[in-house]
Every structure is written in C-alpha cells, then in structure tokens.
Amino acid sequence: MKPLKFNPLLKSTIWGGDKIIPFKHLNVEQENVGESWEISGVKGNETTVSEGEFEGKSLNEVVEQMKDQLLGKENYKRFGNEFPLLIKFIDARQDLSIQVHPTDEIAKMQGKERGKTEMWYLMDSEKDASLLCGLKKKITPEEYAAMVENDTIVDAIAKYDVKEGDCFFLPAGRIHAIGTGCFLAEIQQTSDVTYRIYDFKRKDKDGNYRELHTKQAAECINYNVEDNYRTNYLPTKNMGVSLVKCPYFCTAVYDLDEPMTIDYSELDSFVILIGLKGEATITDNEGNVTSLKAGESILVPATTKELKVEGTVKFLETYV
C-alpha cells in the first residue's frame, strides 16, 4: 500500500495570518488562514486523499476499507474505524484564546467522545513570537475563577519567547495559549474539544464576545506547577531525535542532508511524516516512490517495513 497524501482543510480565523498558503505552495485565495488541517478524521472535517488509488476518499473511508493494514493491528483494536491523530499547521497573527482540554475520563463524564492531548513544534516564527504554557504559580480553583473574572489569569501562566525548533508537550489539563507570531505544527488526539478560558475581551466580526467555557474548563485544569514546560532535546543531524513519547503518540524530528533508511519492521503502527523544510524523495520497501516537501504531510501505512529518504529535508515523524 502506497503512502497517502491529502487535500488540506484551510480554516480562516479571527487570529489567522498569511503564512500557511505560501508555505504549502497552494494556488488559492483565502484570507486569515489560521489553520491547515493536514490529516483529519474528525467527523465533518475529514481530509480526502489527493492522489492515487484512494483519490477522493475520506481518511475514515480508507481506514474502514484497509483497517489494520493502515492503522496497525493493536491500533485497529484500540480505535476501530476512527483515525487516532489530527495533524495541523497553525499561523497566529494574533494571540489565540487561553484554553484547556479535558482528559479522556473527564471528556466522557462531560458527554464528549474523548479528550485532547497535543504537542507543538515551532517553525519559522516571528522574532518576537511567544506563547503561554502551564501554570507558573500555585492557584486554587476559586482563585482561577476570580482571575478569569478580573482579567488577571495571564499572570498565573508561564510565558515563553519561542523560536524555530522549540517544542512543547501539552497533556490534557495543561492550560495554554498560542501567542502572536507563532507558526507551528500541531499533533493531537482526534478530538475537537476545546474549552476557552479567556479571550482578551475580543469581539467577533459581528461585534459579539466569543463564548467562554469557564465552568467546563475548571473541571479539567491540572493545577500542578512545573519548573519548565519547554521540551529539552539536542538537535542532531541525520538521525531521529525523540521529542515526545506518550500513550497517544510518539514524535521525533529528523534533519537530514544525507540519505537515510528508517526501519519500521518492528513497528505495528501507521507513521505520519510532516514536512518542515526542504524536499526529499521517499522510497518504501515495496518500491513505491513519493516526495516529501515542506508544507506536506504524508500518511505511511502500517504495512510499510522501511523507508529510504533521499534529499535535504527536515520533518517530524509521529505514530501511535
């Protein structure tokens, strides 16, 4: 089975910018594109295959047809016909709202299918780009509610100046917000459950304040305080460098300027490659050849045992 590419879903937002369309080399006109949903099985927002034998089919239709050949045996037992990851590029021309996501357990108690754990990898962002991630001081649920009410909740959240290559892991329950100037790749559980805590008193195009979910969010927040929420790793050429390992995904970054063969013979999972910079030719063990360019995301089926990557390219690799 050949690796799959998809038609992205471009989402215009009140905070969206102008980086995504040129980054992906798309010939479309759309303003304020804040998100490109690269690979998505979210109901109502499913990406479709852009080429090859499955062209025009939604991701979920391909999963239903190929089952464990696409997902892997254990993944198919665990997730059935639902694809477990959602891949996005995000371009923030303005601050996003301060948010939190529930764990699977809390989401089910609140009548949702599942929670959301995610991660961010910063791409070529603005020089003054920053983001908020995790509590920097101990607060109680009562203090949280008061700080939202009196517009001081930002004072309790750790702020980070960020640059290309920075990585942040966001387990469900960690309060966070993408800041102005951030351009990043996001990997997350297949879930669109987001609780908006605070939105800087912004109004939408109709002059209304956006809905807040203060009560639901209060049930989800992890109030633990950590010293550092940025992922520490040593960037290294021509090898996979691990960034995140959690029950929902394992992610590594590759920065290659010489050919490399990646062995997946012991892996019982699909693999997603997310192009960050450069371009490469990828050949699998069945002889299928595909390209990977900056701005592209490729879904490699679980039946693939080996990939040979040739070119000067930087990409994220993620699997379950």
> By C-alpha distance, which of 97, 88, 105, 100 is closest to 131?
97
Q: What are phi and psi of 43, to 5 degrees?
A: -60, 130
Spatial separation of the C-alpha atoms in residues 164 and 210, rounded to whole Å: 30
Pairing status of strand 297-300 against strand 271-284: antiparallel
At 100 the pLDDT is 96
Task: Answer yes or no: are the C-beta atoms of 157 and 198 closer than 8 Å.
Answer: no
**DSSP type of residue 66:** H
Spatial separation of the C-alpha atoms in residues 49 and 267, rounded to whole Å: 24
The dihedral sign for the CA sequence 62, 63, 68, 71 = positive
Spatial separation of the C-alpha atoms in residues 98 and 116, rounded to whole Å: 15
> pTM of the prediction?
0.96
Task: Answer yes or no: are the C-beta atoms of 98 and 197 closer than 8 Å.
Answer: yes
At 183 the pLDDT is 98
At 192 the pLDDT is 82
Amino acid at 310: E
At 25 the pLDDT is 96
pLDDT per residue of the chain (320 residues) written in tens, 0 to 9: 999 999 999 999 999 999 999 999 999 999 999 999 999 999 999 999 999 999 999 999 999 999 999 999 999 999 999 999 999 999 999 999 999 999 999 999 888 889 999 999 999 999 999 999 999 999 999 999 999 999 999 999 999 999 999 999 999 999 999 999 999 999 999 988 889 999 888 877 788 888 888 888 888 999 999 999 999 999 999 999 999 999 999 999 999 999 999 999 999 999 999 999 999 999 999 999 999 999 999 999 999 999 999 999 999 999 99
**Cβ neighbour number for residue 205 with a 10 Å cutoff:** 6
Spatial separation of the C-alpha atoms in residues 30 and 249, rounded to whole Å: 32
At 95 the pLDDT is 95
Three-state DSSP at 143 gives helix
Spatial separation of the C-alpha atoms in residues 230 and 243, rounded to whole Å: 11
Measured at the alpha carbon of residue 274, what is the angle toward residues 269 and 276, in degrees to the nearest 5? 155
- Name 199's bridge partners: none
> By C-alpha distance, which of 144, 128, 131, 149 is closest to 95?
131
> By C-alpha distance, which of 86, 71, 79 is closest to 41?
86
| Joined tokens for residue 118 | 């995610």
Three-state DSSP at 318 gives strand
At 21 the pLDDT is 98
At 209 the pLDDT is 83
Spatial separation of the C-alpha atoms in residues 72 and 268, rounded to whole Å: 5
Spatial separation of the C-alpha atoms in residues 57 and 4, rounded to whole Å: 11
Spatial separation of the C-alpha atoms in residues 77 and 75, rounded to whole Å: 5
